[in-house]
Amino acid sequence: MRIFSGQQAFVLQRLSALVLLAFTAAAALRLGFGAPVSLEQWQAWAAQPAAAALLLLLAAALLVHAWVGTRDVVLDYVHPLLLRLSILSLVGVALALLGAWTAFVLVTHAL
């Protein structure tokens, strides 16, 4: 698989979509049919290493999906190279910071 062929983004977009779909279905079932849970109970659940790992996977899938989607929109609409690089850099840095912050919160909470 060539990194810049477009196939990598195509595969990542679909894999991350599957993760997001599975999580959305699970969340809908839990919130729709499960007993109401307090904030403290959610925090306790998220503090378990397995739950934190799941949430990290969800965050990673969300960020990857957002990156590929934004990149596609930029490749389609933004043709001047400098503007394109600027937007992609800004989005990339923003998503990376968001991911790092999410990971920090989840890991410190779970430890």
Residues that bind other proteins (CB under 8 A): 1-2, 4-7, 9-11, 72, 75-77
Nearer to other proteins, 33 or 77 (CB): 77
Least distance (Å) between residue 77 CB and other proteins = 6
Closest Cα to residue 9, out of 102, 48, 1? 1
Provide, rounded to whole angstroms, the least separation between the CB of residue 21 and other proteins. 16
Cβ closer to other proteins: 1 or 35? Answer: 1
CB of 6 to other proteins, least distance (A): 3
